[in-house]
Structure 1
Amino acid sequence: MQRFNKIIIASLGLLMMVLFIRYSPEILKLMVSLDSFRDYILSTGNLGPVMLIFFQVLQTVIAPIPGEVIQIAGGYIYGTYVGMLFITAGMLLGAIMAFYFTRFVGGSFIENLLKKNKFQWMAGMMENKKFSIFLFIIFIIPGFPKDVFIYAAGLTTIKPLKFFSILIIARFPWLLASVSIGSNIYHKNYVSTAIISGVSVLAFALGWIYKDKLINKLSLFKKSNSGS
């Protein structure tokens, strides 16, 4: 029964991919700006929280969707604490779908994806005994392909509870930062908005600039560790 439930979850993730492909122009147009996305969520009335969680799930399952717009909108509409609750719930639910999609449905697809040069470094780290440490580093540093790693983790033997705990702990600070920006914009706390935005942008820029160097170091650590 438990396996059946996981397959259902993975199948829902596959369904969301199909829906995104079908309605991607409308979805991306909706999330071009914070105001348009906020107006749409508010227009759904009591279903607003459900729709916000749905879009965060969709962003986690489908990487090209701009997650910052959704997360900032969550804080703008519902405040820091409630908005963070909805965003975290959506991120976790989307991660569960992506993880079990790989583990029970689309493993061969992800394996073929990791054989491409762009993702070979990722495949190498998955073979390391310290994969959990690598995951934490990947998830906490801005600029890394976090959503792809959620799919990739489904190919490993990592225990789901351990994986999702690492995911939540590592991503929490930056999710909170995005939601806080939205809340501060709503309350016109522009100084706080500027400070949090500045720190976030700087962290993302540094993560993006030094991403390749860090990947090389992690790869070297993987080789030295496996050879010892």
Structure 2
Amino acid sequence: MDRAKKLLIGKILLAILGGIAITLTIKYLPYILEITTSLDKFRDYIISTGRFGSFLFIFFQILQTVIAPIPGEVIQVAGGYIYGVPLGLIYTTLGLMIGGIIAFYFTRLIGASFIEKLIKKKKSNWLLDIMNSKKFTVILFVFFIIPGFPKDFLIYVAGLTPIKPLKFFGILLISRFPWLLASVGIGSNIHYGNYMSTIVISLIALIAFVLGIIYKDKLISKFSQGNQVNEQM
């Protein structure tokens, strides 16, 4: 079987899986949002599934990465709250990376035109500017590591660029890891009643988030203008 046929089969399978996932998500989204907006509700639900709990938790993290409305912070904090730091971090990271692979290849294989239309519809033309930048990998790392940016959507955007998959997933893992660790650590400290540690980590995360929100537009403008200057030169 030649490469073109394999690619076509891959696209068809991905489209079928995507259609099933979208249908199920639309049907169960109200319930999913209900249990993922509370640590205790989410923990009780995961534990109630017994031995399948860890797989279900990873599935929720995948779902959160692929579908933005699901609150990622609750899922990640719940990882530490339910499993502690080591296992919680492994499950959360695994879910993030699998979700990232799905989102990246969805764009690269079948969803490029859809994502481009969505960017224009949201009036996020700055994304189109940074995509063509020679410093795209650096920009991507900065945007991933600073709180306040649309990280999950950036995964779809990266699929529009010629960036090598292994390079992209390396950037995703390294840049997101510190905040995953912080979130899982908060969840674990809440579970064990280490409230001082929880407060300290939460304050650091909150300050970083506020700074990210404050300087987000300036960073976007700087990188976008920088790319335009390079193109003119």
Tell me the TM-score normalised to structure 1 length.
0.95
Task: Report the counterpart of residue 107 of structure 1 in structure 2.
Answer: 112
Task: Report the counterpart of residue 229 of structure 2 in structure 1.
Answer: 224
Which whole-Å CA distance do the structure 1 matches of 2:144 and 2:16 have between them? 25
Q: Is the 8 A contact 2:11 2:110 kept in 1?
A: no
Task: Report the counterpart of residue 60 of structure 2 in structure 1.
Answer: 55
Task: Report the counterpart of residue 82 of structure 2 in structure 1.
Answer: 77
Task: Report the counterpart of residue 89 of structure 1 in structure 2.
Answer: 94
Task: Report the counterpart of residue 198 of structure 2 in structure 1.
Answer: 193
The AA in structure 1 aligned to 2:195 is: Y
Task: Tell me, yes or no, if structure 1 residue 21 matches structure 2 residue 31.
Answer: no
Task: Tell me, yes or no, if structure 1 residue 46 matches structure 2 residue 45.
Answer: no
Displacement of 1:16 in angstroms is: 2.3
Flag the 1:11–1:158 CA change in 2: closer, same or farther, 3 A: farther
Which whole-Å CA distance do the structure 1 matches of 2:197 and 2:13 have between them? 43
The AA in structure 2 aligned to 1:198 is: L
Which whole-Å CA distance do the structure 1 matches of 2:115 and 2:67 have between them? 14
Flag the 1:13–1:183 CA change in 2: closer, same or farther, 3 A: farther
Task: Tell me, yes or no, if structure 1 residue 118 matches structure 2 residue 114.
Answer: no
Which whole-Å CA distance do the structure 2 matches of 1:37 and 1:216 have between them? 39
Q: Is the 8 A contact 1:10 1:100 kept in 2?
A: no
Which whole-Å CA distance do the structure 1 matches of 2:205 and 2:19 have between them? 32
Deviation string for 1:139-188 (max 9, x for gaps)? Answer: 00000001111011111111100000000000001011000000111111
The AA in structure 1 aligned to 2:150 is: P
Which whole-Å CA distance do the structure 2 matches of 1:106 and 1:93 have between them? 17
Task: Report the counterpart of residue 135 of structure 2 in structure 1.
Answer: 130
Tell me the TM-score normalised to structure 2 length.
0.93
Moved more, 2-11 or 120-129: 2-11
2:152 maps to which of 147, 153, 160: 147
The AA in structure 2 aligned to 1:59 is: Q
Which whole-Å CA distance do the structure 1 matches of 2:181 and 2:129 have between them? 31
Moved more, 118-127 or 53-62: 118-127
Deviation string for 1:62-112 (max 9, x for gaps)? Answer: 011100111111101111011000000000000100011111111111011
Alignment of 1:163-174 (within 5 A): 163-174=168-179
Flag the 1:181–1:6 CA change in 2: closer, same or farther, 3 A: farther
Deviation string for 1:39-61 (max 9, x for gaps)? Answer: 00000110111011000000000
Specify every segment of 5 or more residues in structure 2 that has no aligned partner in the other structure, as ranges: none
Count of matched residue pairs: 228
Q: Percent identity?
A: 59
Task: Tell me, yes or no, if structure 1 residue 204 matches structure 2 residue 203.
Answer: no
Which whole-Å CA distance do the structure 1 matches of 2:111 and 2:42 have between them? 31
Which whole-Å CA distance do the structure 1 matches of 2:169 and 2:10 have between them? 17
Flag the 1:44–1:215 CA change in 2: closer, same or farther, 3 A: same
Which whole-Å CA distance do the structure 2 matches of 1:13 and 1:146 have between them? 20
